[in-house]
Structure 1
Amino acid sequence: MTDTPAPARDYRDTVFLPKTDFPMKAGLAAKEPAILERWAKLGIYDRLREQRLGRERFILHDGPPYANGDIHMGHAMNKVLKDIIVRSQSLMGKDAPYVPGWDCHGLPIEWKVEEAYRAKKLNKDDVPVDQFRAECRAYAEKWVDVQKAEFERLGVMGDWAAPYLTMKYEAEATIVGELLKFAESGQLYRGAKPVMWSPVEKTALAEAEVEYEDIVSTQIDVAFEIDSAPNAPELVGAHAVIWTTTPWTIPVNQALSYGPEIIYLVVEPMYDAERGSRPRQLLIADVLLESVRARLGFSSEHVKRTCKGSDLADATARHPMHALGGFFAKPRPFLPGEFVTTDAGTGLVHMAPDHGEDDFELCKQYGIDPVFAIDGAGMYRADWAWLGGQGSVINKKFVSADGPICTDLREAGALLAASDDFKHSYPHSWRSKAKVIFRATPQWFIPMDRSDTESPSRLREGLGEGSAANAALDASPPPTPPASGRGVESGNGATLREIALDAIAATTWIPARAENRITSMVQGRPDWVISRQRAWGVPIALFVDRATGQYLNDPAVNARIVEAFRQNGADAWYADGHQALLGPDYDIADYEVVKDILDVWFDSGCTHVFTVEARYGEGTRANLYLEGSDQHRGWFQSSLLESCGTRGRAPYDAVLTHGFALDGQGRKMSKSLGNVVDPLKIIGESGADILRMWVASTDYFDDVKIGKEVLATASDAYRKLRNTFRYMLGALEDFDESERVAVSDMPELERYVLHRLGMIDTELRQAAEAYEFNRYTRLLTDFANEDLSAFFFDIRKDSLYCDAPSDIKRRSYRTVLDVLFHALVRYAAPVLCFTAEEVWQSRFPSEDSSVHYLEWPSLPEAHDPAIGARWTNLRSVRKTVTEQIEPYRRSKAIRSSLEANINLSFWGDDAGWADLEKTDNSELAELFISSEVSKERRSAGTLDDTISTYPGLHVEVTKTSFHKCGRCWRHLPEVSVDGELCNRCDEVVAHA
């Protein structure tokens, strides 16, 4: 019988392995709703307001999303970024309230309610206005509740019990009050100008309500016979050729425009084949002859004469349909236009002041007024001599080369060419997706260039001589600045445009390039069209004198209007109480009650008044506005103009703009492409913290991509950070203050890690203050992965597992882990709000506590640049050693780095050698997680030494001959047989 050696003892029960119930698998989708429920019971938002009372306040004013439909990825990205910023400001000790809000009025909601009517074969216009408005309100209320729940599910913390809504009575009263401030100060007029008009929705649209899509239009060349030319009589009988892609404007033509410096030719074309009656002589710009020839189809031409554009001054032409008489029989004057170019067309432009801004302005200079031939549905009015009662002008068949307009022009011998093949970008309503038109209609405007001291009688806006509105302008006195102090910063007499531009320059724009964008927009924008011809919104609550056309400007009447809105909302304007609003001094029979409603951008432009000022005091402005980059022409601008017009300054100190969320291939998301990434689906599958990690990790100042691969990257980064917390929780089991070690008594490695933490802390704070959370998140994850998990934790796991609990090294390590825990959980809280709470409660369970009550960590003083430089060098050496060990491990020459003996040959700079020489070989072995280390200084290297990635260092790896300790698994000289204990482990086990 052979003696069998006793099996080696299993020492696993003596090793101090980390213990924690914190799961490696997050299970966020199931866990987060429970955390939200707990926060609701705690009243965490209100508690924070109490705790931060009296602190420096930070106000991020929420731009209102539209209460219409479930949230999309753009909403999610926007709201998460806001929440990260608000939470980070709270973490930095500030009182950072967040009041969410919604835009509740306007066309999109009205359109949805109308769709329901159309589905029932009902006409919205047959429904009493109060009933219709009530249905719109109910629709908005429904989606506010839906979106509120969805935003809360993202982890967004705010005053969800009392959000601001533009349809709340107090808000509607404030909005009309702000409008009346403009009226009282003379910053309001009614005029007729071409505005973007939706024939489908039958209302004017703001630029922000329009999107541009590529379309194919009909392009036509039309001849106007010159019947008078005092400066160039030889032109009489020639035909001026115009080119247009909007054939429907020809029936509203009133003039032709030329470039005074352009050289024009009168040519006799020679056609390849006769194609009907054609003018014999054509007037076109000389540089456009080739392109005109190609469109009109003539093979050559005879140039009869040349003239300069200025020769066309005082000339007139006949409208192609002049035989119809009346409007069409009037001579069409030639007018000089600076906007006329030779980039395309013929060098001559036909003028329809009803349907073009340049047309309107030029014709106005020469006393030519709009004629309002096209109605709100895009039809020519019934009494119009040509095509009366027909349309719609956006119908492709109606304006095609074979449509009635072109057919009539062809029969009149004026249509020189027509084709349905012109590709270009064209404005569409973002709601109905239908094409819009420029259409002159009576609208209410806020002027951009009227100064406080400028009489409105100098600002006639195209209603025509003798009109009631212009009579009102002539009769009204010069306006006075409002009592709120408009003009204080820019000086009395400044225009709204000037004040706004000054305010832009005084605002911090993030990123900085955004300033140029909004500056150019404000510099070039026309007067603000604030009226809409709809039903759901805040009405333009004005009374207009029927005799003069002047709106009533009486502070007492205005005060009664505001109070009525405060008591009954904007619906008060639709009740039978107008005489009561006017009071005893006026008779309602003498006044027109304005029925238009306000542009919703005016509504949202007032939110700073009924949210920021109403809650935090008159004159308070937001520290930050944050929205997508499209809001330079939307909310940022409407808020700016509203505040500058009533307060003489911007409503914000800083504005941050982010890009758009695109699909994984960088394409705009659309249902038609099937590439929409639904944030609610991501939350339901992976949890909100994964989405929040993605938002914080992106360079959100530009457009960002989101798809499976992108989310996988965010999930991987989250998982690594979660595992860092899990390790620290396990390693800190039962840690208490009696174990804490002073920084001065710690080993140098611990002091180095605290030094690194201090540096990271500074950088993180700087990133948070600059709203650079992609840098913030990268700093945090890199520190957790590279400085901690791959370096500090890796080196010190031996001490944690195997040193005695009383050992100074182990206690120092656990002390630093405690400092790291308190810091990292705070740093992570703004981004991973759910996970940080889970981590905190795992270590410090309490029904009444939350990680989000905490403030920025207060770190022990451990800044030591010398230690930082030394350990930066030692880490580089460690990296080189690890790279040299890896081939041996892969080839299985050694099973782990613990079996490796390392010999370092160094001939580099003195500083590098000093760091190595100062470090004991046993410390280096611990640093490299190897068996033993030897080192030598050499005078030079050889060719064989080039394997080193560290300049001047050669690493030789051999397998150790030492035996393995049965407890710590280190290969040490005092272990005589594999499985025996080393001296340290023997002592720890003996005293356990």
Structure 2
Amino acid sequence: MCADTPDYRDTVFLPETEFPMRAGLPAREPGWLARWEEIGIYDRLRDKARAAAAAGQPRTPFTLHDGPPYANGHLHIGHALNKVLKDMVVRSQQMMGHDARYVPGWDCHGLPIEWKIEEQYRAKGLNKDDVDIVAFRQECRNFAAGWIDIQRDEFKRLGITGNWADPYLTMDYHAEAVIAGEFLKFLMNGTLYQGSKPVMWSPVEKTALAEAEVEYHDHTSHQVWVKFKIVGAAGGANSAALVEAELDELRNETSVVIWTTTPWTIPQNRAIAFGPSLEYGLYEVLEISEGSTAQVGEKLLIADKLANGVFSAAKVLDVKRIRSISSSQLESLTLAHPYRGVEGANGEWDYRVPMLPGDHVTDDAGTGFVHTAPSHGDDDYQIGLKHGLPMTYNVMEDGTYRADLPVFGGQAIILPDGKEGPANVSNIKQLAYAGALFAKGKLKHSYPHSWRSKAPVIYRNTPQWFVAIDRELDDCLSTYGDTIRKRALNSINQLVTWTPQTGRNRLHSMIEARPDWVLSRQRAWGVPLTCFVKKGAKPTDPDFLLRNAEVNARIVAAFEADGADVWYVPGFKDKVLAGIVEPADYDQVMDVLDVWFDSGSTHAFVLRDRADGSEDGIADLYLEGTDQHRGWFHSSMLQACGTKGRAPYRGVLTHGFTLDEKGMKMSKSLGNTVAPQEVIDEYGADILRLWVAQSDYTVDLRIGKEILKGTADSYRRLRNTMRYMLGALNGWDGQRVERADMPELEQLILHRLAELDGRVRKGYAAYDFQGLFQEIFTFATSDLSTFYFDLRKDALYCDPTDSLIRRSCLTVMDAIFHRLTLWLAPVLPFTTEEIWLFRFPSGGDSVHLQDFPETPAGWLDPALAARMARVRAVRRVVTGALEVERRAKTIGSSLEAAPVVHLSPELAQIVTDPDSFAKLCITSAVTLTTDPAPEGAFALEDVPGVAVVFAHAEGEKCARCWQILPDVGRHKHPQTCARCDAALG
């Protein structure tokens, strides 16, 4: 500034604030957590709800029921995504006027924790079975409790609000008592039964697994093509389908060929299934290549569509198709087991193998014939039930054949370390020895593994406890159906809102097709199946299970007092049965419940039993990842339909999985994992939360360094917008201007606020965080920072304090501040708390104790918005013309210009005030005219009726506001315009 120019810098009302531009979130966020702990935010929100109810204005409850994470390790990025989504739901529902309760919880029982304790034992050379079971269970309990404390702190560090002082734990005594009580309801309603059927079994962990406990990985399996020789015709009417000559032809070295990737199941074969609609042929081998195990001249039955592939695998060079074989002819045949008559078999496999029609048989792969072992596969089991096939019990719990099985006794299918045992190779060798091996090879394919031990699993026939989901229930809860399946399907269709809608389709198809629910696990750490069976009775006998309400009440009371461990204390059976039945007549079941039954029962001991649960025991929302359609959503639905008669939730929200920036699945081996704590240490929890809000959670989400950099940049821009408002509002006297008295620009911003208010509320209600945040972000960075604030900074900085424009702007800015800060609070709890307390530094206040402010409906003015849209279009032509001059260096600042704007008569009725329009264009003056535009005037094709002719502003530059005006220098204060002179007094 020149020496003779007055210095008016101290007289300009520049925004002033100590709110830091740099957030420093990693260092500052723990302080906000400590503050929230100190003032008891969650409890004060509950007090607020009680006070509202006492005043006769009750807040509608909203309950998001927490799907319990497993208490066995540090959080991963998927945990962070899930909990942040839940927190945004709870906070937004609270701020929209509900009493939004959130009780965090943990899954504490089950194999993952038991497995960890067993690993510790093995490392010390100890055997779990040598330890007292109650002592072992106590070690599991202590392990879970330790991880709960760790995870609780990690969740709280993410800014998650909730009842952290009193979470729910499935291992609490009351929870264990309720879980047992819920199980006993199935005992009493007639759906519980003991059956023997194949289930997913982990030989390493020695237990049955639920579908949700299984994950699929690539695995290389043996594959074999096996010959079953035709030995005769089946009895009955179908045998007439084969005349004697045809039968003789087929007996003459003819075999049915099957294909399997589990050679170890061959000793359990009881039938061969064929597809009734498939086309089959009788083939003769004419020529083979070296190394083939096929034999020239042998005849084979194979599905026509698959024959070429089969012969190629067997290295057969030439074949002849003799004729077709019909389904009725196939059903007429009986076969010999491949091990029939082998040395040392002692007649084990000397039975005939029937040919049975099966709709599950296709010609997509294999041979068109399916080897059927009813004890080792669900399709096999179902066809076995239909045709009365015998079950086998050849495979023990550790994945070995029973010791007295001929030839293969004691051999392992899966070794204790999860690697393949000798059973497959032994069977392949025996098939070759018996002349039944047509071909062999290896196949890499997707195969089920235990998600805990990561070892392959098998299907194994074992006695288990089931809940029948199609059996009519003996209860009075039939509003939505008389079976569990009917109730579940009706709940899905009639009672639940799905976000996204695809979740409905997925769970519906799973429930529609699922078999009975396997409840039992052969483990130690869990809630036991609290039932007794009569000695000597069969599972089909009416008195097999003890059904007695008084016994049940004693069990539940004992669990309530001392926990589920009492089930394993010697003498417990005598204690609960004494005086009701003779204890010696009953055996105590020692299996434990599937852990999914535990979590599926949480609605009872959380939603129903807790004071901060749900008034009707039903949650407004369950929110988990898409894998929970087969997990918690599924088990909760089945459990509640059996005990409540309907779904335990009114809404279900599902989110995708987290991937790296390239869309790859995260894994430690690839080194592409992103740990929540690492993000928090570098950026802060609010950046992680903002990543969640900016992402489409309905699909898989990507995260990585570049994505987080982009998120941090969005945060910085948003923070700068809020910082500018804090500075501008600093020292404001609070004198408001009524909307009707405001300039049209302020009325337009209020209209936009009212529009946005509706969209934000609708977005939060629909859990559309990405959509609503984008609306807020666009408004803050475009409507405000690059438009409204830019236009009004002249009035804010230079107008007298009693200026209508300045007071209107501050009134509007205050409305913007309240809404933006509160709208963003569910997403950015730390930053908005900092912003709020900078403006309102009250000791016990918090942004999270506020509700979203009500926005007057009168702020909406579509007609004004439409007119101002046209004014802004005219402005765009002006700014375009000025940009041309700026690039030509004719001007440096737009304040040096006073353009002439030629308008059509229609637009001249809209843009009427040159002073207001000059402020809108940030020029010192504007001339509006309806005269025809001269040739060469600047115009834009998409804005007809507007042309601009550049002109320099006339006059001198005001030393205070820098506008160039004719009156500068004619006032009391040197080198000022009239406005600035008035402001200086």
TM-score higher than 0.5 here?
A: yes
State the match for 1:969 in structure 2: 962
Deviation at 1:709, TM superposition (A): 2.1
1:760 aligns with 2:749: no
Partner of 1:106: 110
The alignment status of 1:371 with 2:392, answered yes or no, reads: yes
Contact kept, 8 Å, 1:945 with 1:954, in 2: the verdict is: yes
- The CA deviation at 1:940 is 8.3
Give the match's secondary structure for 2:404. Answer: coil
Aligned equivalents of 2:60, 2:603: Cα separation in 1 = 19
For 1:539, the equivalent position in structure 2 comes to 528
Tell me whether 1:284 sits opposite 2:284 in the alignment: no
In 2: Cα distance, 1:46 partner to 1:527 partner: 43
User: Equivalent residue for 2:514?
Assistant: 525
Please name the residue that 2:589 is paired with.
594
Amino acid paired to 2:880 = E
Q: CA deviation at 1:610?
A: 0.5
- Of residues 480, 489, 492, the one that matches 1:504 is 492
1:740 Cα offset (Å):
1.7
Structure 2 Cα separation of the partners of residues 898 and 863 of structure 1: 33
Aligned residues: 947
- In structure 1, what is the equivalent of residue 256 of structure 2? 240
SS in 2 for 1:625: strand
Q: 1:181 to 1:293 in 2, by over 3 A?
A: same
1:567 counterpart = 2:561:
yes
**Which residue matches 2:479?**
488
Equivalents in 1 of 2:263, 2:579: separation in Å? 53
From 323, 339, 349, give the equivalent of 2:360: 339
Aligned to 1:36: 33
Q: What is the alpha-carbon distance in structure 1 between the residues aligned to residue 884 and residue 461 of structure 2?
A: 79
The one of 930, 934, 939 equivalent to 1:937 is 930
CA contact 2:877–2:939 (8 Å) conserved in 1: no
Equivalent residue number for residue 60 of structure 1: 64
CA apart distance, 1:327:
2.6
Could you report, residue by residue, the CA deviation over 1:140-178 in whole angstroms, capped at 9, with x for unpaired residues? Answer: 101111110011111111000000010101001000100
Residue matched to 1:579: 574
Moved more, 601-610 or 856-865: 856-865
- Give % identity: 51
C-alpha distance in 2 between matches for 1:445 and 1:560:
23
Which of 973, 977, 985 is the matching residue for 1:982?
Answer: 977
Query: 2:259·2:367 contact (CA, 8 Å) conserved in 1?
Result: yes
Question: In 2, distance between residues paired with 1:803 and 1:277?
Answer: 100
| Counterpart position of 2:280 | 264
1:633-712 equivalent positions in 2, closer than 5 A: 633-712=630-709
CA separation in 1, counterparts of 2:560 and 2:12?
72
CA distance in structure 2 between the partners assigned to 1:400 and 1:567 by the alignment: 49
Aligned mate of 2:435, from 410, 413, 428: 413
The residue type equivalent to 1:709 in the other structure is E
Quote the Cα distance in structure 1 between the aligned partners of 2:915 and 2:655.
52
Conserved in 1, the CA contact under 8 Å of 2:217 and 2:448?
yes
- 892-901 or 811-820, larger mean C-alpha shift: 892-901
Query: Deviations 1:101-156 (Å, cap 9, x if unpaired)?
Result: 01111111111111111111211121111111111111110111111001111111
Q: CA deviation at 1:312?
A: 2.2
Would the aligned equivalents of 1:948 and 1:954 in 2 still touch at CA under 8 Å?
no
Q: Deviations over 1:540-572 (max 9, x none)?
A: 111111121412110100111111111111101
Preserved contact between residue 967 and residue 979 of structure 1 (Cα < 8 Å): no
Q: Compute the displacement of 1:574 (Å).
A: 0.7
CA distance in 2, matches of 1:399, 1:241: 24
For residues 398 and 537 of structure 1, the distance between their equivalents in structure 2, rounded to whole angstroms, comes to 30
Measure the CA separation in 2 of the matches of 1:862 and 1:41. Answer: 39
CA–CA distance in 2 between the matches of 1:941 and 1:298?
91
Partner of 1:455 in structure 2? none
Distance 1:519 1:308 in 2: 38
- Offset of 1:608 from its aligned partner? 0.8
Q: Do the aligned partners of 1:819 and 1:859 also contact (CA within 8 Å) in 2?
A: no
For structure 2, the residue ranges without an aligned partner over 5 or more in a row are 54-58, 234-238, 539-543
Instruction: Report the TM-score, using the length of structure 1 for normalisation.
Output: 0.93
**Which whole-Å CA distance do the structure 1 matches of 2:954 and 2:498 have between them?**
65
In the alignment, does 2:957 pair up with 1:960? no
User: 3-state DSSP class of the match of 1:442?
Assistant: strand
Is the 2:225–2:260 contact (alpha carbons within 8 Å) kept by the matching residues of 1? yes
Letter in 1 for 2:157: R
Cα deviation, 1:398-446, whole Å, max 9, x if unaligned, reads: 5698x221111111111010012x2221111111111111111111111
Residue number among 79, 93, 98 corresponding to 1:94 in the alignment: 98
- Paired residue secondary structure (2:354): strand
Tell me by how many angstroms 1:885 deviates: 2.5
Aligned ranges 1:4-19 → 2 under 5 Å: 6-19=3-16
Offset of residue 881 of structure 1: 2.8
The alignment status of 1:322 with 2:316, answered yes or no, reads no
1:767 maps to a residue whose letter is G
SS in 1 for 2:276: coil
Q: Secondary structure at the match of 1:322?
A: coil
More off after superposition, 279-288 vs 4-13: 4-13
Compared with structure 1, are the counterparts of its residues 885 and 5 closer, same or farther at alpha carbon in structure 2 (3 Å cutoff)? closer
TM-superposed CA distance for 1:277, in Å, is: 7.3
Paired residue for 1:434? Answer: 455
Match of 1:885 among 879, 882, 886: 882
Q: Give how far 1:65 is off.
A: 0.7
Code of the residue aligned with 2:258 in structure 1: it is I
2:377 aligned partner:
356
Do the aligned partners of residues 929 and 254 (structure 1) sit closer, same or farther apart at CA in structure 2, a change above 3 Å counting?
same
Counterpart contact for 2:226–2:258, Cα < 8 Å: yes
Distance 1:938 1:657, change over 3 A: farther
Coordinate RMSD, CA, aligned = 2.0
Aligned to 2:446: 425
Shift of 1:950: 2.5
Deviation at 1:396, TM superposition (A): 6.8
2:101 counterpart SS class: coil
Going from structure 1 to structure 2, the CA distance change for 1:5 and 1:693 (only over 3 Å counts) comes to closer
- How has the CA–CA distance of structure 1 residues 400 and 573 changed in structure 2, closer, same or farther, with 3 Å as cutoff? closer
Secondary structure, aligned partner of 2:679: helix
- Cross-structure match for 2:173: 169
Note if contact 1:941-1:952 (Cα within 8 Å) is conserved in structure 2: no
Report the CA distance between 1:979 and its aligned residue: 7.9
Q: 2:860 aligns with which of 847, 863, 872?
A: 863
Which residue identity is paired with 2:180? V
Q: Is 1:313 equivalent to 2:306 in the alignment? A: no
Give distance in 2, aligned partners of 1:432 and 1:911.
76
TM-score for the superposition, normalised by structure 2: 0.93
- Measured in 1, the distance between the counterparts of 2:881 and 2:519 equals 72
Residue ranges of structure 1 left out of the alignment (5+ in a row): 453-479
The one-character-per-residue Cα deviations of 1:630-680 (angstroms, maximum 9, x if unpaired) are 111110111111111111111011111111121111111111111111111
What secondary structure sits across from 1:177 in the alignment? Answer: helix
Q: Assess if the C-alpha contact under 8 Å between 1:60 and 1:622 holds in 2.
A: yes
**Cα distance change, pair 813–644 in 1 and its aligned pair in 2 (3 A):** same
Distance 1:941 1:378 in 2: 94
Deviation at 1:903, TM superposition (A): 2.5
Are residue 747 (structure 1) and residue 743 (structure 2) matched? yes
Change (3 A) 1:886 1:942: closer
CA contact (8 A) 1:199 1:378 kept: yes
Displacement after TM superposition at 1:7 (Å): 2.4
